[in-house]
Amino acid sequence: MKIKTQEISNRIFEEKDVKLFVKRIDLTHEFISGNKWYKLKYNLLEAERNSFNTLLTFGGAYSNHILATSVLANENGFKSIGIIRGERCADLNPTLKLAKEHGMQLHYVSRKEYQFKQTSKFLSVLRNKFGDFYLIPEGGSNKFALKGTSEIITKNDSQDYICCSVGTGTTLAGIINSSSIKQNIIGFPAIKGFKELEKEIKSITTKSNWQLNNDFCFGGYAKTNSLLINFINNFNKNQLIPLDAIYTGKMMFGILELIAKDYFPKGSSILAIHTGGLQGNKGMNQRFGFNLP
Ligand SMILES: *Cc1c(COP(=O)(O)O)cnc(C)c1O
């Protein structure tokens, strides 16, 4: 697959003598958040290898992973079941509507029950109800996902810094594992729980050329403010690159702040991974009246 990397221009980059590139894995697929395609790739092969015909996974009602699983399952001849956290709403939100249109069977569980989703008791209840299935964890994060995300960057991505948004950390870990030790990898968590994230990423990576920057999570998962929303809209107007409000908007806000504060030495090149997530903007616009791209 040919993935486009584009350079972004801005007066401040010249002033600070840095170059910023964006790797557009968001363009991998119309409905699949870019990194979720990489996370699912080897999971689908594993499901096929073991002759499963159904995929089952978990997620919130606006989850990029839920939609990605429904679409990839549909394209590859699997049935899919989504266990959704929270009550069913009378009108499906844009994410769940699309997932359903791609054949996903939606099953809602209370927030309390959802906490026990990985226990063998809960899974056996699901197996009694739905028959046998290939289980993909929430967010798609497992060793097959790590193998897939290690294909996001290649030797040609030789910038000094690589930046990526962080949810579970599996995408960042894949990037770390395939980076050169001369590169600096910076993760921008979109959620709270910095210490656990750091521990998790450490446990699945083989290098120490990385760090997390926790200054741009905007209060936690799916939290936003008008500064962030305006930033995303201005960025789209000036650069013609849409960002999402949960992950990539926060990362890009952080990168520009760090450039402004001289974090990157003169002459540095920076690669930002655009992991996608744009489908989520529709739900945000609908819920909060934003005008996200
Ligand atoms: C899921 C997601 C992430 C986080 O990926 P992890 O592997 O869970 O860290 C980042 N960006 C976007 C757009 C996502 O959908």
CA distance 203 to 196: 11
- Residue 1 has a pLDDT of 64
Q: What is the pLDDT of residues 231-276, one digit of tens each?
A: 999 999 999 999 999 999 999 999 999 999 999 999 999 999 999 9
User: At 209, is the pLDDT very low, low, confident or very high (cuts 50, 70, 90)?
Assistant: very high
- From residue 116, alpha-carbon distances to 6, 72, 122, 145 in Å are 43, 26, 7, 22
Quick check: do 5-32+143-288 and 35-140 share a fold? yes
Calculate how far, in angstroms, residue 248's C-alpha sits from the geometric centre of ligand 1. 9
Calculate how far, in angstroms, residue 182's C-alpha sits from the geometric centre of ligand 1. 24
Q: Is the CATH code 2.40.110.10 the one for domain 35-140?
A: no
User: At 3, is the pLDDT very low, low, confident or very high (cuts 50, 70, 90)?
Assistant: confident
Residue 101 CB neighbours (<10 A): 14
pTM above threshold 0.85? yes
What is the CB < 6 Å shell around ligand 1? 33, 35-36, 64, 139, 141, 165-172, 244, 247-248, 275-277
Architecture of the domain delimited by 5-32+143-288 = 3-Layer(aba) Sandwich (3.40)
Calculate how far, in angstroms, residue 3's C-alpha sits from the geometric centre of ligand 1. 18
Domain boundaries, the chain: 5-32+143-288, 35-140
